Amino acid sequence: MTETPQIDMSDLGIASRAVLKPITQIAAAAGIPEDAVESYGRFKAKVDPALVPTRNVGLGKVVLVSGMSPTPAGEGKSTMVVGLGDALAATGRKTIIALREPSVGPSFGMKGGATGGGYSQVLPMDEINLHFNGDFHAITSANNLLMALIDNHLHQGNALGIDPQRITFKRVIDMNDRALRHVVIGLGSPSDGVTRETGFEITVASEVMAVFCLATGLEDLRARLGRMTIGYTYDKKPVTVDDIGATGSMTLLLKDAIKPNLVQTIGGTPAFIHGGPFANIAHGCNSAIATNTARALADLVVTEAGFGTDLGAEKFMDIKARYADCPPSAVVVVATIRALKMNGGVQLADLHNEDVAAVQAGLANLAKHASNILKFGIQPVIGINRFATDTDAELAAVADWAKSQGIECAVADVWGQGGEGAGELAAAVLRAIEVPSNFAPLYELDMPVEEKILTVAREMYGAAGVEYSAGAKRTLEQIHDNGWDNLPVCIAKTQYSFSDDPKALGAAQGFQLQVRELIPKTGAGFIVAITGVITTMPGLPKVPAAMHMDVDAQGNAVGLS
């Protein structure tokens, strides 16, 4: 008897068997001039956008991948981006993928990694999931240099008259470290700084990250960094990074990080992986520079926005597309039968059982997301990410509904088949981008801030109205006094529900959205409205994923997934 060799079908196992092309070859095929490419090892590079000319035929079209409300079952949105990108490339259209960089912190907690899955992954997955080309480290350093300069300013006499109790900026670390959420610093002797209460956030929550991802170039980066508000004086006047004198040195720390990182998919499609802000307290998409560099090179740029259409896609349209002039030509709304069943009332443990009625009940959630996209003047395309437990009857229920609504819908098996599993979806996307778009943001910038928030709450979430805490009301006045009314809004809300109650699945409506806090992010250029409880510093679980990670004798990563 012979034993069947065990094939490792984990994401890391599949990734480690892939044969990668040298990154210089990927770059050349993408039309990137040789002098714009700085290799980081054999399979990663940074690309200098200043040395990438725009093609004669003009900028490529943006295909935005969004999704229905995420569930603990996992929708595989990044996996769909990669598979769809490979499928579009296979049609002969010059295609580049643009994705966010994974945050290291959560990888050691629950997630284990975030670079797609199965045969739809970006590679080298271990390096992308760990330090990658150092961008998040550079952002962490820039953020924390600013903080060291602020606390040094207090210590050296506080010439600006900053109120230590009104410093809103925090230090960051790319680690899930709950014990750093609330800290007191500056203890010890008088030479050990000024004592004050503060906290740490995870790096992806830093406004520096949001600035990094919205900047259209080095000059815009410097200007946005300089405009960030770090706190207020005893007279309640805002203090900026320019006031502290930190703008130049922060820009210096980011000068190389701001260049997009080029890698490849298992299928060989070029991918820019660059930047990664939160999709609640920030706008949740990869850097504007990566998206626009990709558009200068390719016919099609497949990119992702975090969470569902209510969060990531809305912010893509109202914040990123507005600042970086990159409106999508089509939006794919990723759905899974499992997520539909959960939104239809099925428990996580029972998702493997066929339940067509639950799928149909869950369609209310998907329908709301599709209608959200239509409100921006863009046709949605439903992309069903197929799982092994999906039944034909369940899939047919979604297809029938989509047909009845006149919405394109295609099933894709990107995990198991890579780009080959997404042929129908790619065809649907190619039809959708030919439909003339009437893209417009949801609101105008000159509307009052309350009006903007109400518009998003009504149109995207289905809220009846918005209620403000006493503190949020005070901040509204402050926003007005400081002349920040013209900024777009960035609403931080649970991703699990259209409402601010994470347990209200399906398509909650008629609720009052509770705005607990408003945070002006004057460098990123938006007003964050916090609803519900949003943590900007995750914790680790009882048994963190880190416990299973290691390096094998050949120096290869073990335990990433």
Question: What residues are designated binding site?
Answer: 71-78
Q: Is 111 a catalytic residue?
A: yes
For 388, other C-beta atoms within 10 Å of its C-beta total 8
- Locate 104 and state its tokens: 């290291």
Judged by beta carbon, residue 149 or residue 367, the one nearer a copy of itself is: 149
Q: Is 387 a catalytic residue?
A: yes
Minimum CB distance to a copy of itself, residue 21 (Å): 16
- Locate 398 and state its tokens: 């979604």
The conformation of residue 360, written as its DSSP 8-state character, comes to H
Judged by beta carbon, residue 31 or residue 193, the one nearer a copy of itself is: 193
Judged by beta carbon, residue 389 or residue 535, the one nearer a copy of itself is: 535
Q: Is 170 a catalytic residue?
A: no
Distance, in Å, from the CA atom of 75 to the CA atom of 68, rounded to the nearest integer, reads 8
Contact 312, 306 (CB under 8 A): yes
Q: SS3 for 345?
A: coil
Q: Is 316 a catalytic residue?
A: no
Minimum CB distance to a copy of itself, residue 185 (Å): 5
Judged by beta carbon, residue 22 or residue 58, the one nearer a copy of itself is: 22
Distance, in Å, from the CA atom of 282 to the CA atom of 497, rounded to the nearest integer, reads 18
Catalytic residue among 108, 132, 307, 316: 307
Minimum CB distance to a copy of itself, residue 297 (Å): 20
Catalytic residue among 61, 100, 224, 521: 100
Q: Is 521 a catalytic residue?
A: no
Q: Rounded to 5 degrees, what are φ and ψ at 522?
A: -80, -15
- Locate 58 and state its tokens: 């003009």
Alpha-helix runs per DSSP H in 228-279: 241-244, 247-254
Catalytic residue among 30, 271, 279, 339: 279
Minimum CB distance to a copy of itself, residue 285 (Å): 24
Minimum CB distance to a copy of itself, residue 265 (Å): 21
- Locate 291 and state its tokens: 């998206």
Minimum CB distance to a copy of itself, residue 98 (Å): 22
Catalytic residue among 55, 93, 111, 473: 111
Tokens 């350093």 belong to 141
Q: Is 77 a catalytic residue?
A: yes
Contact 437, 389 (CB under 8 A): no
Judged by beta carbon, residue 138 or residue 407, the one nearer a copy of itself is: 138
Contact 100, 316 (CB under 8 A): no
**Contacts for 290 with CB less than 8 Å, ≥ 6 apart:** 98, 260, 261, 272, 273, 274, 275
Minimum CB distance to a copy of itself, residue 202 (Å): 11
Binding residues for ATP are: 71-78
Distance, in Å, from the CA atom of 18 to the CA atom of 509, rounded to the nearest integer, reads 46
Contact 7, 251 (CB under 8 A): no
For 18, other C-beta atoms within 10 Å of its C-beta total 16
Catalytic residue among 79, 455, 522, 536: 79
For 448, other C-beta atoms within 10 Å of its C-beta total 13
Q: Is 181 a catalytic residue?
A: no
Q: What are the Cα distances from residue 89, in Å, to 96, 163, 427?
A: 8, 55, 12
Judged by beta carbon, residue 44 or residue 369, the one nearer a copy of itself is: 44
Cα angle value 40/43/45 (rounded, 5°): 40
Q: Is 307 a catalytic residue?
A: yes
Parallel, antiparallel or unpaired: strands 95-99 and 261-265: unpaired
Judged by beta carbon, residue 31 or residue 186, the one nearer a copy of itself is: 186
Residues forming the active site: 77, 79, 100, 111, 279, 307, 387, 415
